[in-house]
Amino acid sequence: MRLDRLLGNLGYGSRREVKGLVRGGDVRLDGALIDDPEMRLAITPDLRARMTVGTEALDPLPGFVALLNKPRGVTCSHKEAGRLVYELLPPRWRAREPAVSSVGRLDKDTSGLLLLTDDGALLHRIIAPKAAVPKRYRVTLARPLRGNEAAVFAAGTLLLDNEATPLRPATLEVTSPTEANLTVTEGRYHQVRRMFAAVGNHVETLHRNRIGSLSLPDDLAPGALLVMTPEQVGFVLPPRI
């Protein structure tokens, strides 16, 4: 890909602006200045470590995945009232082409692990119902658990209001009378909140801490982002058979 196109797609500016950036002597490859904006580059995974723009490493390459510790109170949408998840991203990421999107959504009041990517095909592989990627949520409840919830959720027969298809079996690990981890393999609208409503309870707080075998790092502050390595991305999806 041509350097000016790459930088433009990564949000560094219009084609004219990135030509100016390169000619101004701000872009280096392996420490050497590049002065030709039309130079052709192979987009290989090592490019990010080899290229600098100004004093910084190049932004994540096309096809990247990042993990955000979503705080409560922000909405997973590009255009809604209130604080949006995309406002937590570096400004350049918001100018990228293809656009960066969240992999599925978390409710405004749900916190925790949210993936972001510019790779539409990967996004669809992760959220496709047939992929059945497990997602684990830590739940705190308004009322003590009755004791039968794990069996009800595991049965694969629970019907949510206004739905015709029962939920797939889900796994509940109870950690205290009003706290549990729930692992589901679907992503229906407000699913976890509606599951607890169906068993006469109410979710007070909801936090996603795992997708596939990828856990939210304990030391990642709310609102902080981490660009993932290809190996970490491999933890999200089961290997293709």
Of the residues 100, 106, 122, 133, which one makes contact with ligand URA according to CB under 6 A: 106
Structure letter (DSSP) for residue 24:
T
Residue 110 interacting with ligand URA (CB under 6 A): yes
Q: What angle do CA 200, 110, 192 make, to 5 degrees?
A: 35
Closer to ligand URA by Cβ: residue 96 or 193: 193
| Per-residue interface string for the shown chain with ligand URA, residues 150-189, x marking contact by CB under 6 A | ----------------------------------------
Residue among 26, 30, 46, 107 flagged as catalytic: 107
The CA–CA distances, whole Å, from 165 to 146, 150, 159, 197, 206 equal 25, 19, 7, 17, 24
Q: Which residue has the tokens 């995309």?
A: 86
Of the residues 19, 96, 138, 193, which one makes contact with ligand URA according to CB under 6 A: 193
CA distance 93 to 74: 18
Closer to ligand URA by Cβ: residue 101 or 191: 191
Closer to ligand URA by Cβ: residue 18 or 203: 203
Cβ at position 181, least distance to ligand URA in Å: 13
Residue 204 interacting with ligand URA (CB under 6 A): no
Q: Where on the phi/psi map is residue 102: left (φ > 0), alpha (ψ -120 to 50), or beta?
A: beta
Cβ at position 76, least distance to ligand URA in Å: 9
Other beta carbons less than 10 A from residue 226's beta carbon: 14
Q: Which residue has the tokens 């932004």?
A: 59
Q: Please name the amino acid found at residue 81.
A: A
Active site residue 118: no
Closer to ligand URA by Cβ: residue 9 or 185: 185
Residues belonging to the active site: 107
